[in-house]
Amino acid sequence: MSRPVLDSTSTPSSSTAEVPPPLDPAPEKPPPPPRRVYPQYSFSAKSPQTRLVYIRDLHTAERELAQFKPGPCGFDMEWRPNFYKGQRENPVALVQLANEDVVLLIQISAIRSIPSSLRHVLWNPAYIKCGVGIQGDCMKLWKDYQVNTRNCVDLALLARTVDNAHWKGKYRDPIGLSRLCETYEELSLEKGRITRSNWEAVLSGPQKQYAANDSHSGLTLYKRLFPLTLTLDHPPLPSYYSFDCYLGATYNPSLDTPETIWQPHNPFYDPGPPPELTEEQIKKREERKAKRQQVESGRTAPDDGSGNAAGGSTSGSAPGGLRHPLVQSAERRTNPNNRPLPGHDQAQRGRPKFAQRGRHWRPPHQRPAGQPSTGTSSDQPIYMQTGHMDHGGGPPPL
């Protein structure tokens, strides 16, 4: 039997149709470049002539602080950490001050007082105290020892002011000291277990080096960033990046008693476009939005006159089984008998005021099996038993 010959113009069947080639998968994003490893910052290598003085007595502190020259100085503090949640924060144990000549490590936990010369240096505006995020440190110093500080410079705000092209985002977003050192000095600060060590004990060699590098790097960054303020089209005001801490609050820098609360703001700062959110961040944002809408719908559910929230469940429950107090109040106004019986929630509500039966009184549903009631029927609600209806029957008054 001969097979029919298909004409060249005839359409082939679906079984003989050509399958289109698969689409090329989306190109994968290239992996991020490996992070550059920087050498460690060392104050002795950066400034070989700088001395390191570790102070544990009042006499040495007064002598060294009297010779401490005015001008910019690195400023930092350390205190013993807590390892258990809920513990009270320990007081400041170490204050670090660094200028071009000397790095002072003043262990006030060993001195057991604040030297008067240290109070003078911290309050004198001729000493420019430089650090990263030192607002909290200054407020803690007032809280622990009632010491005021003046003319303090936040290096993160100074970097955003003079190098806006490199730093984007919110003006108040913090920038770590190590990150600033990597950006402007191509050096890295050591951050590890030593930061969580005991700063009230006698300091070891690595602790001294870490504390000295932290304060001296603040001085180095200030000397690099501050000259850039002279190159800007709009010279920045000192309040853009500096403050005074007086009586535990931050104020605009002033040569007199501070009066204006400090609000770090730079009108010429460009935060740039908002950062792109990842899929996980978008998902979490949608979950928070849905949860917030559920809570708001439970709070604002109106009363339809039947004691139930309109559009909600008949029990007056918000989504998730939560009973809102406004819904409960609406139910009680329309149906006074709609209330939990006394004793049903003893752990939360406590003993009802109207159930005065003595010290060992227990509600009927909590009595052991076979225990007789003292003159009342345990099958009835407690407010309908004899001796509890002195208000004319019905539920007890509020």
String of DSSP letters for 123-145:
H-TTEEEEESSHHHHHHHHHHHH
Mean pLDDT computed over every residue of the chain: 80
**303 and 188 in one domain?**
no
Pairing of strands 242-246, 249-251: antiparallel
Q: Give just the sign of the alpha carbon dihedral 303, 306, 308, 310.
A: negative
**189 and 47 in one domain?**
yes
pTM of the model: 0.65
pLDDT at 12 over 90: no
Q: What does the pLDDT read at residue 30? A: 75
Q: How confident is the model at residue 327 (pLDDT cuts 50, 70, 90)?
A: low
**287 and 156 in one domain?**
no
**228 and 93 in one domain?**
yes
Q: Which residue has the tokens 């509890």?
A: 388
Of 296, 314, 343, the domain-final residue: 343
**315 and 179 in one domain?**
no
Q: What does the pLDDT read at residue 316? A: 46
Q: How confident is the model at residue 31 (pLDDT cuts 50, 70, 90)?
A: confident
**203 and 281 in one domain?**
no
* 76 within some domain: yes
Mean pLDDT of 116-123: 96
Q: How many domains does the chain have?
A: 2
Phi, psi of 78 (to 5 degrees): -140, 150
126 close to 71: Cβ distance less than 8 angstroms: yes
Q: What does the pLDDT read at residue 325? A: 60
Mean pLDDT of 137-143: 96
pLDDT at 114 over 80: yes
**54 and 143 in one domain?**
yes
* 194 within some domain: yes
Share of the chain above pLDDT 90, in %: 54
* 167 within some domain: yes
Of 327, 343, 359, the domain-final residue: 343
Mean pLDDT of 60-76: 96
* 23 within some domain: no
Q: What does the pLDDT read at residue 273? A: 87
Here the CATH number for the domain that contains residue 234 is: 3.30.420.10
Going by the DSSP 8-state scheme, the letter that residue 323 receives in this structure is E
Rg (alpha carbons) of the chain, rounded to whole number = 36
User: How far apart, in whole angstroms, are the C-alpha atoms of residue 296 and residue 320?
Assistant: 12
**330 and 215 in one domain?**
no
**132 and 83 in one domain?**
yes
The predicted-structure confidence for 249-307, as pLDDT tens digits, reads as follows 999 998 888 889 999 999 999 999 887 888 888 899 999 999 888 887 765 555 555 54
**197 and 57 in one domain?**
yes
**176 and 305 in one domain?**
no
Which residues lie below 8 Å from residue 28, measured CB to CB, with a gap of 6+?
none
* 31 within some domain: no
Q: Where are the beta strands (DSSP E) in the chain?
A: 51-55, 71-79, 92-98, 102-106, 127-131, 149-154, 242-246, 249-251, 317-318, 322-323
* 257 within some domain: no
Mean pLDDT of 67-83: 95
Q: Which residue type does 136 have?
A: G
Range of the domain at 284: 276-343
